[in-house]
Each structure stands twice: as C-alpha cells, then as structure tokens.
Chain A
C-alpha cells in the first residue's frame, strides 16, 4: 500500500522568512513524489516532482523540495515567503512498482504568509 502524510494542517510564516511544508510517505518500493498548490477557487497546479536523480528538486515560483529516502520525506521549501504564496498545498506519492495505480494525495496543508 502507498500513503502520504502531511502532519500540519496549517503553517503560518511571516513574509520574507523561509517556509517549510512537511510531507512523509510510505511505499513498498521507490517513490514518485509530487507537490501541488491550490489557490482559492482554482484547481490544483503542479509545482514540482521527484522521479529519480538529484535529491533536491526545483520547481515553479521559487519552490524546491528535498527527497530524503532514509526519513521517507519530501518537504517543500522556499527561502523567502511571499504573501501570494498563501494557498493550500498537497503532497502526492506513487510507488514506482505499483503498476498503473494513480497518485495518492495527502490531506493538504494550508499556508498563510503574513505581511
């Protein structure tokens, strides 16, 4: 079975400070990992993904995420938060060896960046 956990429902950060949104996963093999963002009244937008290779993945809007196999984590980070980063963030996982099964999404973390 594959699963993903986002341990924080809400993250608050001051504008200009670094932000981290946490994600841990569970798969039997190696994972494909994704981050998505949802702005109010919009669908989900793809931010970045880890497939293989370099553990540090860079994505859209200055976001990056680090794959840590030993800690089974894929935390989303940004060096300097903007008010416009305030949104709902979803982590998703798929076991590389799970055939054609779709992504499994976390429950989401709401990020609030305060001016």
Chain B
C-alpha cells in the first residue's frame, strides 16, 4: 500500500551494528505496528503504538526498540544487530472507529540481512 512507506527496502549489515528502519504513513491513522516475518513462523508482533505517547511491547520485543516521532512516523531500531534478526520487517497502520476494530494496512516491507 503506497500510503505506508518503509525505508530502506533492503539492508545488509554486520553483527553489532546499530540499524534503524523507518515507517511513514499518509493515511492519518493513529495506530502503528512493527512485525517481522520469518518462513514458517508467520508474522510476529515486535512493538505497537496506539498514539504518539503510547508504546507497547509485542510478542518478540527483546533486542528491538521503537520511537513514535509523530503520528505519521514510527521507527524500529536494532541497537546491536545479530544474525537471527535477519528477516522481513513490516510496518502496519490502523485506526479505531467506535467499538469496532479495523483492518491493518501494511507497508511493502524491509528485507534485513545481518551477517
């Protein structure tokens, strides 16, 4: 979805390096998420944020940190990258409408390789 952009799209780095993945959205959504995808494991939630002042850990937050710089921006950092963090990373957004729960919109993904 072009309304959710991720940079970079591909990154190769070395063990121990600090890496930041960035996500921007023009959908005006208040909720943003970071997932990683590994073959056979599906999508696993790393962190999520329901507004600028709200940050929550997901299923696999160890080794990661996030920053919600503005409603439209949500960045994911790997303070000291390790090879088992090699994966496809997705940012997603959603919005709340009353008591319902709306679908998430995904960015194109960032393929990260840690050597």
Question: Which residues of the other chain, A, contact B4 by a CB distance below 8 angstroms?
Answer: 43
Nearest CB in chain B to that of A91: its residue: B42
Q: B101–A43 contact, CB under 8 A?
A: no
**Number of cross-chain contacts by CB at 8 Å:** 48
Digit string of B16-58 for contact with A (CB within 8 Å is 1, else 0)?
Answer: 0000000000000000010100001111110010100000001
Report whether over half of chain B's contact residues are helix, strand or loop; otherwise say mixed.
strand
Q: B90–A44 contact, CB under 8 A?
A: yes
Q: B90–A43 contact, CB under 8 A?
A: yes
Q: A42–B45 contact, CB under 8 A?
A: no
Is A90 on the interface with B (CB-CB < 8 A)? Answer: yes
Supposing A100-B50, A102-B33, A102-B58 touch, asked if A46 and B41 sit within 8 A by C-beta, the answer is: no
Instruction: Give the segment of A20-28, A61-69, A71-79, A103-111 that binds chain B.
Output: A103-111
Most chain-A CB neighbours within 10 Å: which of B33, B43, B48? B43
Q: In chain A between 14 and 49, which residues have their CB closer than 8 angstroms to a CB of chain B?
A: 32, 34, 36, 42-46, 49
The docked-state distance in angstroms from the alpha carbon of A74 to that of B52 is: 34
Q: B104–A46 contact, CB under 8 A?
A: yes
Contacts A49-B103, A103-B104 given; 11 further ones with Cβ under 8 A?
Answer: A34-B103, A42-B109, A44-B104, A45-B106, A51-B101, A102-B45, A102-B48, A102-B58, A105-B35, A106-B42, A107-B41
Subset of 16 A-B contacts with CB under 8 Å: A43-B4, A43-B106, A43-B107, A44-B43, A44-B92, A44-B104, A44-B106, A45-B1, A46-B103, A49-B103, A90-B42, A100-B50, A102-B104, A106-B42, A107-B42, A108-B42
